[in-house]
Structure 1
Amino acid sequence: MIYFWIWIVIIIQRIVELIVAKSNENWMRGKGANVVKEGHYKWIVVTHVSFLLWVMIEAYLSHSLTANIGEMLIISFVLLQLFRLWCLFSLGRFWNTRIIILPGAELVKKGPYKFINHPNYLVVGLEFIVIPLLFKAYIAAILFPILHVILMCYRIPLENKVLKEVNEE
C-alpha cells in the first residue's frame, strides 16, 4: 500500500511542477523572455514519462509491490525531494523545465546554485536511481540514469552557452 502512496506523491509532484513551470514561463514571457529552441526537450519529456510508467510496470511484473522498503531508500527519497524543493525555491520564478532567457535578469547564485551548477539535474539523476530501487525496478535503476546522462550531455552545454551569452551582454 505504501507503494501506491509514494507513486501518487511522485505523480502529483510532477504535475504541480509542470503547472509551476508553465506559470513561470508565462510570467517570464510577459516580461520579454525568450524560450530557447530545444530539439532534445521532447526526449526529456519522453524519458520522464517513460520512467514513471516503466518503474510501476517493472515493479508490478516482478511482484515487488509487496516487498519491504528499505529505510535508507525512504530517507534518500525524502532528502532528494527536500533538495529538489531547495532548487525550485532558490530559482523562484526563474525555475522551469525549459530553457527560458529573460534579458537583464541576474544569474541565480543562491541556495544550491551557490555551490554547484544545475543542481536540479543532479536531483533528477539521483531520483532515477533511488525511485526504481524503492520499487525494486532494477532495470529502470540502470537504464534511466544512463538516458539522463545522455540527455544532459546535450542540455547542460546548451543551457551554459545561452546563460554565458546572456551574461556577457
Structure 2
Amino acid sequence: MIFGIVLSIVILQRLVELFIAKRNEKWMKDQGAFEAGASHYPLMVGMHVLFFIVFIIEVSFFDRQLSPIWQILLAIFLLAQLLRVWCLASLGKFWNTKIIVLPDADVIRRGPYKWIRHPNYVIVATEILVLPLLFGAFLTAVLFSILNIWMMSIRIPAEEKALKKATNYTDEFSLNK
C-alpha cells in the first residue's frame, strides 16, 4: 500500500513538473530562447519512463519489501524533494526538463546554484538510487543509476556548451570567482 501511495505521489509530481516545464519553455521561446541537446531528450524521457516501469515490475514481480532502513531512505528522499523544489524556485521561469537557453541572459547564481553548477542532476541521481532502495528494488537502483550516469555524461556537456555559447556562464563559473 505504501508503495502505491509513494509511487502515485512521485508520478503526480513528475506530471506537474512537465506542465511547469512546458509553460516555461513557451515563455522562454517567446523571449527568443533556443533548445540545445534535443537529440538526447527523447532518450532521457524514455529512460525516466522505463525507470518507473522497471521499478514497478521489480517491486511487484519479485515481491520486494520495504527496506529495514526505510526511515533513513525516506528521509533522504524527502530531503531531495525539498531540494528539488528549491532548485525549481531558484531558476523560476528558466527551469526546464529540456535545455532551453535564452541568449544573453545572466545565469542563475542563487539558491543551490550559488554553490553547485547542476544541483538538480545531483537530486535526480539521489532519487534514482534512493527511491528503489526504499522498497528493496536493488536491480532498478543499480541499473538506472548506471544509465543516469551515462545520460548525464551526454546532457551536462550539451547544457554547458549551450550556456557558454549564449550566456555569461563562463564568466560566472570561472575558477577566479
Shift of 1:37: 4.2
Letter in 2 for 1:42: P
Unmatched segments (≥5 aa) in structure 1: none
Question: Over residues 82-107 of structure 1, what are the superposed CA-to-partner deviations in whole Å (9 max), with x where a residue is unaligned?
Answer: 01111111100000011111123110
TM norm structure 1: 0.94
C-alpha distance in 1 between matches for 2:155 and 2:90: 20
1:52 Cα deviation (Å)?
0.8
Q: Give distance in 1, aligned partners of 2:66 and 2:89.
A: 35
Shift of 1:43: 0.9
In the aligned structure 2, how far is the partner of 1:47 from the partner of 1:72? 26
CA, structure 1 residues 98+66, in 2 after alignment: closer, same or farther (shift >3 Å)? closer
Distance of 1:115 and 1:67 partners within structure 2: 32
- Superposed CA RMSD in Å reads 1.6
Matching of residue 159 in structure 1 with residue 126 in structure 2: no
Q: Is the 8 A contact 1:55 1:135 kept in 2?
A: no
Aligned equivalents of 2:50 and 2:108: distance in 1?
A: 31
Deviation string, structure 1 residues 119-149 (Cα, Å, up to 9, x no partner): 1011111111001111211101100010001
Instruction: Count residues in correspondence.
Output: 169
Contact persistence 2:32–2:103 (CA under 8 A): yes
Counterpart of 1:72 in structure 2 is 72
CA displacement 1:54-92 (0-9 Å, x = unmatched): 111100012125676611011011001001111111100
Equivalent position of 2:62 in the other structure: 62
Decide whether aligned partners of structure 1 residues 66 and 9 sit closer, same or farther in structure 2, where only a CA change above 3 A counts: same
Look up the match of 2:174.
Answer: none
The alignment-based identity, stated in percent, is: 45
1:39 is aligned to: 39
Read off the aligned partner of 1:25 and give its amino acid letter: E
Alignment map for 1:2-13 (pairs within 5 Å) = 2-13=2-13
The 3-state SS of whatever aligns with 2:104 is coil
Instruction: Kindly indicate whether the alpha-carbon contact (under 8 Å) linking 1:133 and 1:141 is maintained by their aligned counterparts in 2.
Output: yes
Matches within 5 A, 1:37-116: 37-65=37-65, 70-116=70-116
Residue 37 and residue 26 in structure 1: after superposition, are their counterparts in 2 closer, same or farther (change >3 A)?
A: same
- The amino acid of 1:34's aligned partner reads F
The offset of 1:168, in angstroms, is 5.5
